Structure 1
Amino acid sequence: MNTTLEVTTDPLPRDLAFVGEALTAFNDGDVGVSGRKTLAVFVRDDAGAIVAGISGYTAWGWLYVQWLWVDEKLRGQRVAASMLDAAEREALARGCQAAWIDTFNPTAAKVYQRQGYQPFGTLPDFPVGRCRIFLQKKLS
């Protein structure tokens, strides 16, 4: 079989979907079905605009918070904590036993630690001058 190596900055959505589906099939056979399910939490203002939000998923009994953002005007008002609480409750309802999140923002890391998340790893200079911190929490 002849093969070619392609590097692209503009992959076709169907090609990305194919790789994702192939990896999912491999992982399902290797460690069992993930049960992956999207999880989002939004905070909206009176006009319905999103002013804070979480995006992530649950899989293999874990909640992964991929994105967490709070509008600057709402920071320091425990909005992130409220959203994390809501996401964790939903994760528990889905049978999850733990959660993880990562950040390179030192202030965000402190917020997550106040919520009970504990660091378990770091990547120095990711991005340069910062440290990406990985945190986890047992859910109960």
Structure 2
Amino acid sequence: MFRIEAGVDRERRDLLRSRLRDTNTAASPVLAALRGSPAAHEVPLHVWALDESGDLAGGLVGHTWTSWLHVTYLWVDARHRGAGLGSRLLRRAERTARDRRDCAAVRLETWDFQAPEFYRGHGYEVVGVIPDYPPGLTEYTLVKRLR
């Protein structure tokens, strides 16, 4: 007999994540080899751009895990778009991931109205497309090799 519940429970979420990680590690020689190494843990990677008054002009939020950088957010304030700031933020994150964290690749997701062409222009390749996610939009998954 099972009781099914719905609701936010951070303690259970963390327990579930830990158990899933243990299951995946046991089944994967690659993940098992990483057990205990610093690369086995997600490490935040943030890059910030502040304007002359100290306000947030743009930023990139992501993390590194194993030998990958995952870019979660990249945003540039409208006042600063078109001046190369997004490119500078992306290049800094890639360089940090490659040179300081030994990452071999980057992955990210973007929607069709956001920046797929921006990322293609920086050497990213589309490896996944989800049409109508959410309805009326298309989501792209892109990757780039750093070495």
Same fold, TM-score > 0.5, yes or no: yes
**1:50 matched to 2:53:** no
Matched with 1:20 is 17
* Whole-Å separation in 2 of the counterparts to 1:76 and 1:95: 30
AA matched with 1:82: R
Measure how far apart 1:35 and its partner are.
3.3
* Whole-Å separation in 2 of the counterparts to 1:24 and 1:39: 21
AA matched with 2:4: L
| Post-superposition CA distance 1:10-38 (Å, at most 9, x none) | x1332322222222333333332333211
* Unaligned stretches of 5+ residues in structure 2: 35-39
AA matched with 2:87: A
* Whole-Å separation in 1 of the counterparts to 2:88 and 2:113: 19
* Whole-Å separation in 2 of the counterparts to 1:25 and 1:74: 44
Superposition RMSD in Å: 1.7
Measure how far apart 1:107 and its partner are.
4.7
* Whole-Å separation in 1 of the counterparts to 2:26 and 2:45: 24
Contact map agreement 1:104 1:127 (CA 8 A) in 2: no
Matched with 1:105 is 112
Task: Pick the aligned partner of 2:26 from 26, 29, 40.
Answer: 29
AA matched with 1:111: F
Matched with 2:97 is 91
Q: Compare 61-70 and 27-36 and name the one that shifted more.
A: 27-36
**1:123 matched to 2:125:** no
* Whole-Å separation in 1 of the counterparts to 2:81 and 2:14: 36
Number of paired residues?
A: 137
Q: Compare 98-107 and 13-22 and name the one that shifted more.
A: 13-22
Matched with 1:74 is 80
* Whole-Å separation in 2 of the counterparts to 1:51 and 1:126: 28
Q: Does the C-alpha gap of structure 1 residues 95 and 16 become closer, same or farther in structure 2, counting only changes over 3 Å?
A: same
**1:132 matched to 2:129:** no
Identity %: 29
**TM-score, normalised on structure 2?**
0.83
Could you list the runs of 4 or more consecutive aligned residues of structure 1 that deviate by over 6 angstroms after TM superposition?
Answer: none
* Whole-Å separation in 2 of the counterparts to 1:37 and 1:136: 19
* Unaligned stretches of 5+ residues in structure 1: none
Measure how far apart 1:104 and its partner are.
0.6
| Post-superposition CA distance 1:81-100 (Å, at most 9, x none) | 11110110111120110101
Contact map agreement 1:122 1:133 (CA 8 A) in 2: yes
Q: Does the C-alpha gap of structure 1 residues 28 and 44 become closer, same or farther in structure 2, counting only changes over 3 Å?
A: farther
